[in-house]
Structure 1
Amino acid sequence: MTKIRLQILTPLKKILDEEVESVILRTTEGDMGILYDHEPVVTLLDYNTIQYTQEGVKKVATTMGGFAEITSDRVVVLTDASEFPEEIDEERARQAKERAQKRLADKSMDRIRAEVALKKAITRMNLKGSI
């Protein structure tokens, strides 16, 4: 199987830059599967995960919004933040979720920031399987 280059980039660092067999992105329109020779496209990403297969092993990382540029031989993901399961502290994510839910209940708080914080916490918890 011909491989494609997957790059996951955040404003702070390069998370991943490797050859993979396939990628599944959660876009704002739904899931998108990508193999070598995919039609070129740019798409918006949702707060969720990116799944990819490398050497026959399925792997996953979070994506906190952003977008992906897909060409026939490359997927470049630009996202606010990205983490692998082993990097996520479940307790910290649970506490962040609770704080965000309290902020959403308080009408004087910045609702948009609270919603983003809640999405991030839920994404992390989903990746760890604790929600």
Structure 2
Amino acid sequence: MAKNKMRLQIITPMKTILDEEVDSVILSTTEGEMGILYDHEPVVVLLGYKTLSYTQDEVKKYATTLGGFAEITKDKIVVLTDASEFADEIDLERAKRAKERAEKRLSDSNMDHLRAEIALKKAIARINLKEGK
């Protein structure tokens, strides 16, 4: 591994999304954003339904993290998440329809509100990444 680089792994139940060396990472945790550089103090954090960004050879890249957690060590970050996507993998119209369905379910008293809230958070994370927010 190159000096002052970290290995970033993004793993979902279905597959490994990313396994590469990076310069820095910004995670959206349940407590707020967290910047990580090489030689970070070891910690485990809970992830929100948001966007992870990382810098690789001076190029900033983004992916969604839809829940889960990250284990951070001196030279490695392992993200275990329910789902993760890069912007070019997201169908914006589909994400907008999912958001509308989730909002409709939240207004229906007969629906499972927890599932609807999670679906809404996932849709918003996808839309925000695709629209660059």
Scaled by the length of structure 2, the TM-score of the pair is: 0.96
Counterpart in 2 of 1:50? 52
SS at match of 2:4: coil
Whether the 8 Å CA contact 1:90–1:130 is kept in 2: the answer is: no
Q: Work out the CA distance in 1 between the residues paired with 2:113 and 2:88.
A: 30
> What is the CA deviation profile of residues 66-118 of structure 1, one whole-angstrom value per residue up to 9, with x for unaligned ones?
00000000000000000000000000000000000000000000000000000
Deviations 1:30-69 (CA, angstroms, capped at 9, x unpaired)? 1000000000000000000100000100000000010000
CA distance in 2 between counterparts of 1:106 and 1:35 reads 45
Could you tell me which runs of 5 or more consecutive residues in structure 1 were left unpaired when the two chains were aligned: none
Q: Is 1:105 aligned to 2:103, yes or no?
A: no
Equivalent runs, 1:25-44 vs 2, <5 Å:
25-44=27-46
The counterpart of 1:71, out of the listed 73, 77, 80, is 73
Q: RMSD between aligned alpha carbons?
A: 1.1
**Residue 80 (structure 1) aligns with:** 82
Counterpart CA distance in 1 for 2:74 and 2:86 is: 25
For residues 127 and 49 of structure 1, what CA distance do their matches in structure 2 show?
7
The SS at the match of 1:15 is strand
For structure 2, list consecutive stretches of 5 or more residues without a partner in the other structure: none
Instruction: For 1:41 and 1:49, locate their aligned partners in 2 and report how far apart those are by CA, in whole Å.
Output: 19
Scaled by the length of structure 1, what TM-score is found?
0.98
